[in-house]
Chains A and B, each alone.
Chain A
Amino acid sequence: MSDWKRENRHEADDREHGNRSHSASRWSHCRKRGVDGSLRTKRDTENSEKGHNNYKPDNRHDSFTTPEGAGPVSRCGRQTDWGSQVEEEEQLRKNVHRDMQRRRILGGDATQRERRASSGSSESCDSREGDNIETDEEVLLRRQKQINYGKNTLAYDRYIKEVPKHMRQPGVHPKTPNKFRKYSRRSWDQQIKLWKVKLHAWDPPAEEGGPEKTLEDRDELGLDDVMDIELDFPSLPNTQNVPVLLSTNNPSLEDDDCMGTPVKLQKTETPAAPDMS
């Protein structure tokens, strides 16, 4: 959809009393897409002075999030014309719905049983999976938005190009938090923050008017870009650490950050796990 490429980005005419003027976040030059993954062709580095939704007025880093987030409008409007904003909103919601549907279907009994055979997690249990899934749509939307912010960066693009899935090491390589798991708000926000911080290791070298790479070959919103298909089993619900998740063989997913092979199983390359509960 060529509509997604916008020519200009003006500042949001969001509040009556003028813009919320924020200075640019340090990484605003790395932002390449709207919040739902739509590509932006031009980055106004001049405009970055006037405001950027991610930068909080009290000078906190944009990956610092608090449970009391900003109100709905401020976080999601990347494009500032209302037509685009509404379309982005709509697309985001549709994507999350689609994710939820896939989750329901793919997270069903049959597939779980198969995966269990290959994963060996003693925690995995069909009935438990049900309890541990986040189903609140508003929560999922919010989380997806946060994930999109993180993926809307050159760092992320460079990262997924540089480190193919099978090379990813838990702890070392950032993994997208799994929005379908139950976490407390604080835990989730913390995971996002840590994830984004880790991603910064792949930031492009900061040059003046930095190279705004747009991915010509990814015109359309790729499924992979926006949706994380989390085909894994929940481990501990309220963990503060990015959870180590189980592997599935799904090479079609470009970014399955949550599918690294758990450390303890790395030695055993075979699908059959040594011990099973």
Chain B
Amino acid sequence: MENSSDDYRIQALDQDTQTLLKTALKDPSSVNLEKVSNIIMDQSLKDQVFSKEAGRICYTIVQAEAKQSNGSAFRRNLLNRLQQEFKDREETRERSLQEWVCYVTFICNVFDYLKVNNMPMVALVHPVFDCLMRLAQPDALMNEEEVDCLVLQLHRIGEQLEKMNVQRMDELFFLLRDGFLLQEGLTSMARLLLLEILEFRAGGWLLSGTAHKYYYSEIAD
């Protein structure tokens, strides 16, 4: 089933690239899949909107390649790029918070969409946790964009991630509690985000009706 290009948020890319991607979706063996995966990776690091849903286009291409030629070149290259970037994540973070946040968003999105035999990829579990743990460190909690990224990912993949490794999720949430309680200098927004995610997980990855009202309703005047 073909999604419109809107679904993949590729509008920010130039026309040629868009065409390349669209071709990759329909006829993967006719394009250089390694190049395609690099394009997607690179764009994800720059474009936050793109990175939030890039997993989807990746999944479609993986499926298409598997169906057409039983190959996995795209997936392999994508994963290896992800791994490369993962190794350099600390430098990336120092150089550009934005890029770091985009990376985390992307890798989590890939974790979400790219399932193998309908299961999340085990190989990504620890790296994803590592990223989230990094976001939960004291220095990161001071940056709203990092906190925001952290809670977004937990909303999206927290439950799945926990199933794969409860211990690490527990570890992460120890950090979040500590952060909430002890971290000085947190903005009120950061504290709000943390409180909400704490409640969210405590509710079984679901916000109760009243909590939802509290956090998400417009405040009546």
Contacts and interface: CB of A to CB of B under 8 A. Distances in A.
Interface string A123-151: 00000000000000000000000000000
A219 interface: no
A76 B123 CA distance: 9
Contacts of A72: 122, 125, 164-165
A85 interface: yes
Interface stretch (B14-22, B82-90, B97-105, B190-198): B82-90
A87 B75 CA distance: 9
Question: Interface extent on A, as a size class?
Answer: 20 to 34
B79 A83 contact: yes
A82 B122 contact: no
Contacts of B126: 14-15, 73
Nearest to B118: A93
Given A16-B134, A86-B116, A73 B122 contact: yes
B199 interface: no
Contact of B123 (A15, A16, A77, A94): A77
Given A82-B79, A82-B82, A90-B117, A73 B87 contact: no
A209 interface: no
B121 A86 contact: yes
Contact of B76 (A14, A83, A89): A83
A89 B134 contact: no
Contacts, number: 62
B143 interface: no
B170 to A, nearest CB: 13
Interface string B114-133: 00110101111111001001
A71 B126 CA distance: 10
A89 B133 contact: no
B63 interface: no
A82 B133 CA distance: 20
Give chain A's interface secondary structure class: helix
B167 interface: yes
Contacts of B187: none
A83 B77 contact: yes
A13 B86 contact: yes
A212 interface: no
A81 interface: yes
Contacts of B165: 71-72
B43 interface: no
A16 B76 contact: no
Contacts of A77: 123
Contacts of B86: 13
Contact of A76 (B80, B82, B122, B167): B122
B48 interface: no
Contacts of B87: 13
30 contacts: A13-B87, A14-B126, A16-B133, A16-B134, A72-B125, A72-B165, A73-B122, A73-B123, A73-B125, A76-B122, A81-B83, A82-B79, A82-B82, A82-B83, A82-B123, A82-B124, A85-B122, A85-B123, A86-B76, A86-B79, A86-B123, A87-B72, A87-B76, A89-B116, A89-B123, A90-B116, A90-B117, A93-B117, A93-B119, A94-B117
